[in-house]
Amino acid sequence: MRFRFTEEEEALRAKARAFAEAEVAPAVRAMETTDAFPRALVDAMAREGLLGLPVPAAWGGGGHGMVAYMLALEEISRVSAAAGVILAVHTSVGTLPIVYHGTEAQKRRCLPLLASGAWLGAFALTEPHAGSDASTIRTTAARDGDDYVLTGTKVFITNAGEADQYVLFAVVPGEPGAAQPSGTKPRAGGGITAFLVGKDTPGFAVGRKERKTGLRGSNTCELILEEARVPAAQRLGGEGEGFRIAKSALSGGRIGIGAQALGIARAALALAEAELPRVPRSLRGEAAAELEGLAAQVEAAALLVYRAADLLRRGRACAKESSMAKLAASDAAVRVASRTLQWCGPDALTEAHPAERLFRDAKVTQIYEGTNEIHRIVISGELLKS
């Protein structure tokens, strides 16, 4: 693991921090009070080149490494976790699967639009009964000539309603291991196939928008597919390869959520440090000692996030490391945000106080991109294999 960032990485981090302070910070209050998607802010991120950071330059992206991208994501999330998750989902799971698994024609058609921000990307895997165990999805994709006909429902889809394209997963009936009408499934993930589904696809609709505890301004919606017809040319990978593609995408996505959580944790830590002089003198020594311990946890989580990003950049297997990064960073974010809320006192219970927002935003990082309970299972499984 490198303990020193390159000049390019440091420069991109500084650029993202300046952008966050100048452009993201002024948009936070409106996002919190209206819960409206910050289209103008996303357009500004696009103009700044932030929506295509790790996409190869040949396809219109910035050509930056994964470490540089995660540093930028951390800086955006330090100011707004909602803006951070919009960026993370668009990039980690809405765009990079096409970089890694797309055909030349798919890359040529999609990547310049996604990297420039002309299109916003999303990732549609979760279903009402299939959250932590994605292998149990029931949305089907029946082959009909040169098309697939998709039917089913997706839930908790970030960027839904604003995204132009979705990396969406469905089961192809009749594939070896595909879910049968009875719901039985001989092997996990069998038959699951990935598709690139445009927002204007006939039979595709966005359902209800969720009102969430945190991440206000980030759309989270239901998707409804009623015999949505998708050309076979928009299948990503082969039939039955979707589960592998989803797992690969989620490794990067988990590191991205780790970077998001790290940004939240650093913001909460800075707020706690500023609040420390106002803690009653009799408790100040104890609070300072606790704050030092929390700072150490944040720094340890940061090293796990950066190590996982570096492994991903080098094309190394990192299922264990990405789970460790997401687990450690999200747990640290919740601990720091909770204690900061406590130290800030009654004022922090009002919606106008930043500690209240950080506390709400931190919690979801322990839940999405795989609950932390699932990540503990992943880590233990990887350790037992070695």
Q: Give the three-state DSSP class for 344.
A: helix
In the chain, the N- to C-terminal Cα span, in Å, equals 20
Determine how many CB atoms are found less than 10 A away from the CB of residue 328. 23
Distances (CA, A) of 61 to 6, 48, 123: 19, 12, 19
At residue 230, the 3 state secondary structure works out as strand
Angstrom distance (rounded) from CA 160 to CA 151: 17
Which token pair is 245?
């593609």
Q: Which residues contact 157 (CB under 8 A, 6 or more apart)?
A: 122, 123, 124, 126, 166, 220, 221, 222, 223
State the residue for tokens 């949305």: 139
d(CA 90, CA 219): 12
Contact status, residue 48 vs residue 18, Cβ threshold 8 Å: no
DSSP states of 46-82:
HHTTGGGTTS-GGGTS----HHHHHHHHHHHHHH-HH
3-state secondary structure of 236: strand
In order of 136, 146, 177, 273, the CA distances from 243 in angstroms are 11, 22, 12, 44
DSSP state of 215: -
Q: Which tokens go with 327?
A: 């687990």
Distance of CA 10 to CAs 52, 68, 381, Å?
Answer: 18, 8, 35
Q: From the candidates 9, 74, 75, 369, which is the catalytic residue?
A: 369
Nearest alpha-carbon partner for 234 in 99, 98, 361: 98
For the question of residue 10 being annotated catalytic, the response is no
Instruction: Provide the annotated active-site residues.
Output: 369
